[in-house]
Amino acid sequence: MISKTTTLSLVIIAAVFIIVTPLFATEPKPIPDDQLNLLLDNVEKNFSKIKTLKTLLTQEKNIALFSEPIISTGFCIFKSPNKLRLDFIEPFKSSLIINNSQIFKYEFFHGNWQKLDIGNKEMMLLIMENITSWLKGKFKDPDLYEICAFKNKNTTILLTPKADEFKKFISSFELGLNREMNGLEYIIINETKNHYTKIQFRNDEINNEIPDIIFEGSNDKPHPVSQW
């Protein structure tokens, strides 16, 4: 049985959300290379208007050994440029916070919050920093990824890691843009051994005031966040 800690860690590092190829309802149309840079520049311009973001999320974790996906729900809070918090509230409670270059992890266990060791801190920080960049519309990182895009009902960006060390954990990321191309609808993290995680976002609240204190990680438990 997968522990609550392991489930959250898988979301982010092996992972956060196809099995090597994108999960499209119909055959997508690749966006030509000569149009890709223009597309990415326009998307980054649109995303740059988002200074804060609160969104509910549903995570679907698919593991080849299990016949049914593991479903978890929670929320994501982002404050530009480099503050991000991912909380799961059902069926377990956990919190993962990045505050600039610091990262903190908590789990609610037997009625109490526990602050946990990060484990593979460099890899987890890399993934969290990537998610922060994606929420700002920054998808171009030629040192890390091969990048391509597809057009179906919406636009999808596919990032394939270049580094062998990275590819031990992640084979690719699929990032689904909303119709307005100013936010993410989902992230799919394709892991190794035919596992993948999809994180679907909904009910966004954009550019509302968010206090910095909810990203603090010095205490033994995460700062409480009111539900919306």
Q: Give residue 14's pLDDT.
A: 37
Q: Give residue 228's pLDDT.
A: 67
Most distant CA atoms of the chain, gap in Å: 55
Instruction: Tell me which CATH code domain 4-207 carries.
Output: 2.50.20.10
Residue 19 has pLDDT above 50, yes or no: no
Q: How far apart are CA 138 and CA 63, in angstroms?
A: 29
Burial class (CB in 10 A: 0-12, 13-18, 19+), 130: buried
Return all residues near 88 (Cβ < 8 A) that are at least 6 apart: 8, 59, 72, 73, 74, 94, 95
**DSSP strands (E only) in the chain:** 29-30, 52-62, 70-79, 83-90, 94-99, 102-109, 112-115, 145-151, 155-161, 170-177, 184-191, 196-206
Residue 161 tokens read as: 């890691």
Q: How far apart are CA 123 and CA 38, in angstroms?
A: 30
Average pLDDT value for the chain: 85
Q: How far apart are CA 69 and CA 106, in angstroms?
A: 23
**pLDDT tens-place string over residues 131-166:** 899 999 999 888 889 999 999 888 999 999 998 888
**pLDDT tens-place string over residues 178-188:** 999 999 999 99
> Residue 141: what are its φ and ψ, rounded to 5°?
-145, 80
Interstrand relation of 145-151 and 29-30 (parallel, antiparallel or unpaired) = antiparallel
- Domain residue spans of the chain: 4-207
- In DSSP terms, 151 is beta-bridged to 29, 155
Q: Which residues of 90-113 are buried (b: 16+ CB within 10 A; e: fewer)?
A: eebbbbbbbbeeebbbbbbeeeeb
Q: Give residue 150's pLDDT.
A: 94
Q: Give residue 8's pLDDT.
A: 41
Alpha helices in the chain (DSSP H): 4-13, 33-47, 121-135, 164-167
Q: Helix 4-13 crosses helix 121-135 at what angle (to 10 degrees)? A: 60
Residue 119 has pLDDT above 90, yes or no: no
Residue 15 has pLDDT above 60, yes or no: no
Residue 24 has pLDDT above 50, yes or no: no
Q: Report the predicted TM-score, pTM, of the whole model to 2 decimal places.
A: 0.80
pLDDT band of 7, cuts 50, 70, 90: very low
N-term to C-term CA, the chain: 32
Owner of token pair 């499209």: 24
Residue 167 tokens read as: 């590819």
